[in-house]
Structure 1
Amino acid sequence: MAREYSQTIANYDISRERFLELKHKCLQYPEWIKRRNECYELRSSASDGMPKGSAVTSSVVERQADRAMKESELVDLVERCLFEAADGDVGIIPDLRKNICYGVPYIALDVPCDKNKFTKYRHKFYFILDKKV
């Protein structure tokens, strides 16, 4: 396993445990997108012809919308942090996303910058995410 936590990220005042917490939160990114997209799929409800009570205050549509909004907020948070960490360099954002959210190693990416600069982007991302979460 590659050494991901280094003294450099400790300079951002992020403990190893906090870094691992943020890292594993970001690895849930594909699940957030999948669940968000499932909220927008068409579904048919099973109707047995029996009237339903009104004890439930929210409808299925409202619950789906709330869930979609929650998942979208998480995805948007990561996207904003990626943009801020890249200093507006949109060319590095897809590779940074693949590395941070999907676990693709630097070696497997076609990154338009050197490894040191890429690592600084990663560390800055975790620093920004730590402040926002």
Structure 2
Amino acid sequence: MSTVIRPELSKSSKYWIDRHRYYELKHFCLQYPIWKKAAQMLDALSKSPSLLEEYIKSGRISDPTVDCAEARSFYLDRIDLLERTAENAAPEIAKYLVTGVTSGVSYDFLKSRLDIPCCKETYYDLYRRFFWLLDRARK
């Protein structure tokens, strides 16, 4: 049985954020694999502008190369924000945090499959810190 993180902490907690804001940030993080794929595809498709329409939503007539660069920049900025926030939250377990928040896996999965180098209590404290920092960065 996995641990379920409560969506709202006590207001006296140092990492308190509103429950709905937490869910908003959590769903933001769950888009990470989509951003990675889109950035990778935009990089590969930049040589074939006719195939870019799937990743670029634009109603104006413009230069496909510029559209590709803008869309790729959009995805890379979000990827960087998430990875930088994980690095600020806990440099020693940043890669585990990124895996946890972007794929919704539990500590138990991280421990058994990826051998995370900390205890469950420490991980979830840093997990909450990550979302608290992400909340500050996304204001």
TM-score bucket of the superposed structures, by smaller chain = 0.7 to 0.9
The 5 A counterparts of 1:94-133 are 94-109=95-110, 110-133=115-138
Give the Å deviation of 1:104.
1.6
Give the Å deviation of 1:101.
0.7
Please tell me whether the aligned partners of residues 81 and 125 of structure 1 are also in contact (alpha carbons under 8 angstroms). Answer: yes
| Counterparts in 2 of 1:21 and 1:9: CA distance versus 1, 3 Å | farther
Q: Which residue of 1 aligns with 2:26?
A: 23
Q: Distance in 1 between matches of 2:63 and 2:41?
A: 17
Which entry has the higher C-alpha Rg, 1 or 2? 1
Q: Which residue of 2 aligns with 1:52?
A: none
Q: Which residue of 2 aligns with 1:7?
A: 9
Normalization by structure 2: what TM-score? 0.78
Query: Identity of paired residues, percent?
Result: 31
Question: Relative to total residues, which structure has the larger helix share, 1 or 2?
Answer: 2
What letter corresponds to residue 42 of structure 2 in structure 1?
C
2:44 to 26, 41, 45: 41
State the number of aligned residues.
121
Please tell me whether the aligned partners of residues 9 and 123 of structure 1 are also in contact (alpha carbons under 8 angstroms). Answer: no
Instruction: Say if 2:65 is the partner of 1:61.
Output: yes
What letter corresponds to residue 130 of structure 2 in structure 1?
F
> CA RMSD for the aligned pairs?
2.1
Unaligned runs of 5+ in 2: 51-59
Give the Å deviation of 1:2.
4.5
What letter corresponds to residue 67 of structure 2 in structure 1?
R
Instruction: Say if 2:78 is the partner of 1:74.
Output: yes
Please tell me whether the aligned partners of residues 10 and 16 of structure 1 are also in contact (alpha carbons under 8 angstroms). Answer: no
Q: Distance in 1 between matches of 2:25 and 2:49?
A: 37
My pick for the range that moved more, 65-74 or 4-13, is 4-13
| Counterparts in 2 of 1:34 and 1:9: CA distance versus 1, 3 Å | farther
